[in-house]
Amino acid sequence: MHTNKKILTSILIVSSLLVFSGCNDKKTEEKKIEVQEVKKSEVQVHTMKKETYPIWVNFSGKTEAKNNVFITAKVAGELKEVYFKAGDTVTKGQKLFKIDDRAYKAILSQKKSSLQKDRANLNLAIANVKRYKPLVQKGLAPREKLDELVANQRQLQAIINSDNATIKEAQIDVDDTIIKASIFGKVGKSLIDIGNNVTTSDKLVNIVQSNDLYVNFNPSSKEVFLLNQYKSEKYPKVIVLPEDIENIELGLKGKVDFIDSVTNETTGTVGMRATINNDKELLYPGTFVNIKLFVTDKIPVIAVHPNTLSQDQLGFFVYTVNSESKIQKTQVKVDYSNKDLVIIKSGLNVGKKVIVSATSKLQENQEVIVNEVPNPIKK
């Protein structure tokens, strides 16, 4: 009897262990199933279509003053006055310097005195001709004498004309002792101090007109060819910024006003120039700048944002989502790119869904949930 009880107890214990073990196996199996269920990632995609975008081309260049002149004296002498302060904005014709004019005024006075003397002689010659004419007509005086008097009158008239010319020249010298600005602009500091003798070869001051600036840059001949082929405006507009400044809202606006007709044989580039408005004088001549040149917004293209594009050993590629909602790597060829957009030459067709969100944690053939968004390229 006692033995039967022991057997029964053993059976019950074994049964309990089997039931408990079965439960554990079931839980383990459920856990395995849970681990195998991978949560799908959500991605943002844009369905490719041909659209028009404002296409800008980026260049580097340098500003240049529209007018940059050194003022020199037209007459020599001691510098007596300076009528400006360094940094002043001056207008064309404004007084800048005064040179000692005493010697020039003395010469002018001498020339005027000579004129008065010669006029008196001319008046006498005219009177003599008038007196002799009737006498010759009546045969009371020789013809030769009248001819001599007429010749003398004409000679004196020529002297008078010469006097007037020398007086005009002397007056110009007197006027030139006041040195004036030849252009509108900002004046630098005087290069010669008061009291020094000035010659006509001395540079007295520099005036720079910078309310409008030239911007010189050198695109390649290929870029100029494409610009001329696709540009929407005869004189393309530009936005100019100092180097290392990205905020386009701060840029100065202008237009291309010159494209050279010859390619530089050494560099393969073409000289190009734009004029920009600089009324606030934010930029100075000689500044290195970045130029954004507008090409067109009329040509439909397939384009992606630069952040969408990646590169491997085969070249450029983008991640796309196929009809089964799985990720694919799609190799593409680039036609043109800048900081704002990448124009695709081949590899992407209309209707392709390109992933525009972060792709660092994605893998090929991974199944994803698609969320359609607009193209991130700014228009």
| In the chain, where the domains are located | 42-53+301-372, 57-65+211-298, 101-176
What is the mean predicted confidence (pLDDT) over 339-352?
Answer: 92
| Helical axes 102-137 vs 143-175, angle rounded to 10° | 160
Containing H/E element for 171?
helix 143-175
List, for residues 286-303, the tens digit of each pLDDT value. Answer: 999 999 999 999 989 999
| Residue 208 pLDDT grade (very low, low, confident, very high; cuts 50, 70, 90) | very high
Least confident of 64-78, 251-265, 356-370: 356-370
Pick from 354, 350, 345, 349: nearest CA to 375:
354
Q: What is the pLDDT of residue 151?
A: 92
C-beta neighbour count of 241 within 10 angstroms: 18
Say how far apart CA 310 and CA 316 lie, in whole Å.
6
Q: What is the pLDDT of residue 17?
A: 42
E-assigned strand segments in 23-141: 41-47, 51-52, 55-72, 77-82, 89-90, 95-99
For 275, the 3-state DSSP assignment is: strand
Say whether 101-176 and 57-65+211-298 share the same fold. no
Inform me whether the pLDDT recorded for 141 exceeds 70.
yes
Average pLDDT, the chain: 88
Is the overall model pTM greater than 0.85, yes or no?
Answer: no
Q: What is the pLDDT of residue 37?
A: 54
Inform me whether the pLDDT recorded for 60 exceeds 50.
yes
Residue 188, burial from CB neighbour count under 10 angstroms (0-12, 13-18, 19+): middle
List, for residues 86-102, the tens digit of each pLDDT value. Answer: 999 999 999 999 999 99
Q: What is the pLDDT of residue 217?
A: 97
Say how far apart CA 50 and CA 375 lie, in whole Å.
11
Q: What is the CATH number of domain 42-53+301-372?
A: 2.40.420.20
Q: What is the pLDDT of residue 63?
A: 97
Top CATH class, 57-65+211-298? mainly beta
List, for residues 7-30, the tens digit of each pLDDT value. Answer: 444 544 444 444 444 445 544 445
Say how far apart CA 34 and CA 357 lie, in whole Å.
28
Q: Which CATH code of 3.40.190, 1.10.1330, 2.60.40, 1.10.287 fits the domain covering 101-176?
A: 1.10.287
Report the range out of 141-145, 272-276, 306-310, 339-343 with the highest average pLDDT: 272-276
Q: What is the pLDDT of residue 38?
A: 58
Inform me whether the pLDDT recorded for 306 exceeds 80.
yes
List, for residues 216-247, the tens digit of each pLDDT value. Answer: 999 999 899 989 988 999 999 999 999 888 88
Inform me whether the pLDDT recorded for 181 exceeds 50.
yes
